[in-house]
Amino acid sequence: MITRETSVVIIGGGPGGYEAALVAAQLGADVTIVEKDGLGGAAVLTDCVPSKALVATADQRADLDIAVRLGVRLGGPDRTAGDGVQVKASAVNRRILDLAAAQSRDIRRSLESVGVRVIDGVGRLVERGLVRADTSGNETVDVAADVVLLATGATPRVLPTAVPDGERILTWQQIYALDDLPERLVVIGSGVTGAELAQAYLGLGSAVTLVSSRERVLPGEDADAATQIESVFRERGMEVLSTSRAQGVERSGDGVVVTLTDGRTVEGSHALLAVGSVPQTAGLGLEHVGVELAESGHIAVDRVSRTSVPGIYAAGDCTGVLPLASVAAMQGRIAMWHALGDAVAPLNVRGVAANIFTDPEIATVGIGQRVADEMPDVQSVLLPLARNPRAKMQGIDAGFVKLFCRTGYGTVLGGVVVAPKASELIFPVALAVQNRLSVDAVASTITVYPSLSGSITEAARQLHQSE
Ligand SMILES: Cc1cc2nc3c(=O)[nH]c(=O)nc-3n(C[C@H](O)[C@H](O)[C@H](O)COP(=O)(O)OP(=O)(O)OC[C@H]3O[C@@H](n4cnc5c(N)ncnc54)[C@H](O)[C@@H]3O)c2cc1C
Ligand SMILES: NC(=O)c1ccc[n+]([C@@H]2O[C@H](COP(=O)([O-])OP(=O)(O)OC[C@H]3O[C@@H](n4cnc5c(N)ncnc54)[C@H](O)[C@@H]3O)[C@@H](O)[C@H]2O)c1
């Protein structure tokens, strides 16, 4: 039985930390959260939320191009969508920062409303069961803890030869301070962050060069999806430099020069580093209590978020399990359910739906092509969206639905959707994967006509397993 005296101290107020705090408060614990930059964490203030708001702005402009293809004329008979449409970066960025700040305030309000004590400051472990916070008001506060949750996130990786200056050599956390749109942006790194932001700036009107260290962009993703997105990038005028690694970036007059490892150089007005993240574990006092780190520097945890030290849990990007806000939040909740004796199921990353907010979006759940290729009893089908009647009406010419199922049984094991708003379309596939539904169960569900989700039931129909 939990008593009010169970003291939970959480270091880090991102999704991993604040969602855990809400659960711990609900279970009757005495909860303190220590956050140094702002509630909501990097997810809300600099990473996930601002980037998705920027993408939403770019999408509005891209929709104008579709409108013109559908016969809409703007401003006169010969005007194309791009004519006269301008993006005011300062207004876009102001809106994004305001939106992030408002979300951070909402999170503070909801935490305080359930009695969570919020300390604005830097937290660290002094010994097992004791957290010290150096507050923004220059005080030192010690809080005794029966349970500690470390949810300190990660920070952008920077190259020693490309030191961000916040003006022209930028991390993704610094782009919202710009007053003007970069005229010629060089994005270094074609992982999810690089791909999303490169396309967003292209859509807003910047000339963009993407420096991709691999043969294709989004190397970790479904190859069919990544190949299609790279084609879209190139068709819309992005310069993609494949198998190119940045050696360093230097300022040069009013711009930057990016030197590649093969000696070539790329000039731009700005460079954006999107070369991954490093876990934020330095200075946390982990060595005082013996919390083990993995070789990558992440805090090692099991599927119920336990570290190597009893009573100390960790969640989110500092664990490196799967760097998504949704997963961080679930790891944090699981930690509290486990620590406070509530019913808990271990984290299942296979059921996690994820989305890349390019245009079109790429949404995935369950097994992917790579795993499917290694399993002898998996069947798959890929249906291009171009054949879908709704897609034709909406002027959608790229995208597809791919489904994986177990041969014989027909159980849905995974799927990939490449489409506008794929993040919404993946839900029925996620529901099928999570609940082990068969392709026949999906196929027998009547969808709206015409709708993009019709392609999901059609793919399921094509995977019907005959006796
Ligand atoms: C550009 C970008 C876009 C993304 N988009 C998405 C998306 O669309 N969907 C998605 O699911 N995920 C997305 N992610 C990933 C997502 O942002 C992270 O998985 C998520 O932020 C992890 O949450 P967290 O709580 O672990 O850490 P964070 O959100 O980083 O929060 C950790 C907090 O801890 C604080 N902290 C650190 N050390 C201390 C200390 N010693 N004392 C006090 N406070 C401390 C930090 O200041 C920070 O506020 C994106 C990531 C990036 C980089
Ligand atoms: N929509 C979303 O949910 C979303 C968005 C952004 C990030 N994220 C999360 O964050 C994780 C990390 O993504 P990320 O893109 O920030 O990092 P990443 O590590 O996945 O990608 C960084 C890329 O930069 C490349 N790179 C490294 N050094 C380079 C160099 N010198 N020159 C050129 N390229 C170089 C790497 O090869 C890699 O492909 C994702 O896997 C995802 O979980 C999620």
Distance 24 CA to ligand 2 centre (A): 32
Q: How many helices (H) and strands (E) does the chain have?
A: 14, 22
Mean pLDDT of all residues in 95-109: 98
The residue with greater pLDDT, 83 or 175, is 175
Atom of ligand 1 nearest to the CA of 326: 11
Residues facing residue 148 across a β-bridge: 9, 312
Distance 44 CA to ligand 1 centre (A): 8
- Domains by residue range for the chain, with CATH: 7-44+95-155+278-349 (3.50.50.60), 169-275 (3.50.50.60), 360-463 (3.30.390.30)
Residue 83, pLDDT above cutoff 70? no
Residue 211: CB within 6 Å of ligand 2?
Answer: yes
The residue with greater pLDDT, 61 or 412, is 412
> For the chain, what percent of residues have pLDDT higher than 70?
97
pLDDT for residue 1: 46
Contact 188, 249 (CB under 8 A): yes
The predicted complex's ipTM stands at 0.99
Q: What are the strands of the beta sheet with 239-241, ordered from one edge?
A: 169-171, 270-273, 184-188, 207-211, 239-241
- Statement: the pTM of the whole predicted model exceeds 0.90: yes
List pLDDT tens digits, range 192-242: 999 999 999 999 999 999 999 999 999 999 999 999 999 999 999 999 999
Supply the Cα-derived Rg of the chain in whole angstroms.
Answer: 24
pLDDT for residue 76: 58
Distance 396 CA to ligand 1 centre (A): 33
Enumerate the H helices of 114-167 as residue ranges: none
- In this prediction, residue 63 has a pLDDT band, given cuts at 50, 70 and 90, of confident
Residues facing residue 256 across a β-bridge: 251, 268
What whole-number distance in Å separates Cα of residue 32 and Cα of residue 24? Answer: 10
Residue 301, pLDDT above cutoff 50? yes
Identify which of 11, 22, 32, 47 to mutate to test ligand 1's pocket (most ligand atoms within 8 A of the CB). Answer: 47
Judging by DSSP bridges, how do beta strands 270-273 and 184-188 pair with one another? Answer: parallel
Residue 226: CB within 6 Å of ligand 2?
Answer: no
List pLDDT tens digits, range 344-358: 999 998 889 999 999
How much is the mean pLDDT over the chain?
Answer: 95
Closest CA to ligand 2's atom 35: 189
Contact 273, 247 (CB under 8 A): no
Tokens 């580093």 belong to: 273
Residue 129, pLDDT above cutoff 50? yes
pLDDT for residue 77: 56
Distance 112 CA to ligand 1 centre (A): 21
Closest CA to ligand 1's atom 3: 48
Q: Would you list which residues are annotated within the binding site for FAD?
A: 52, 123, 317
Mean pLDDT of all residues in 79-91: 76
pLDDT for residue 127: 95
Identify which of 44, 54, 188, 192 to mutate to test ligand 2's pocket (most ligand atoms within 8 A of the CB). Answer: 192
pLDDT for residue 61: 86
What whole-number distance in Å separates Cα of residue 153 and Cα of residue 16? Answer: 8
pLDDT for residue 268: 98
Q: Which ligand approaches the C-alpha of residue 299 most closely?
A: 1
Distance 293 CA to ligand 1 centre (A): 19
Atom of ligand 1 nearest to the CA of 39: 49
Given phi > 0 = left and psi -120 to 50 = alpha, else beta, which region is 117? Answer: beta
Residue 206: CB within 6 Å of ligand 1?
Answer: no
H or E segment and range at residue 423: helix 422-425
> For the chain, what percent of residues have pLDDT higher than 90?
92
Cis peptide preceding 450, ω within 30 of 0: yes
CB atoms inside a 10 Å sphere around CB 174: 17
Nearest to 315 by CA among 128, 117, 41, 126: 41
Give the HSE-up count for residue 423: Cα atoms under 13 Å, Cβ half-sphere: 10
Phi, psi of 366 (to 5 degrees): 70, -150
DSSP characters over 312-334: EEE-GGGTTS---HHHHHHHHHH
Distance 458 CA to ligand 1 centre (A): 38
Identify which of 170, 221, 247, 275 to mutate to test ligand 2's pocket (most ligand atoms within 8 A of the CB). Answer: 275
List pLDDT tens digits, range 261-284: 999 999 999 999 999 999 999 999
DSSP conformational letter for 175: G
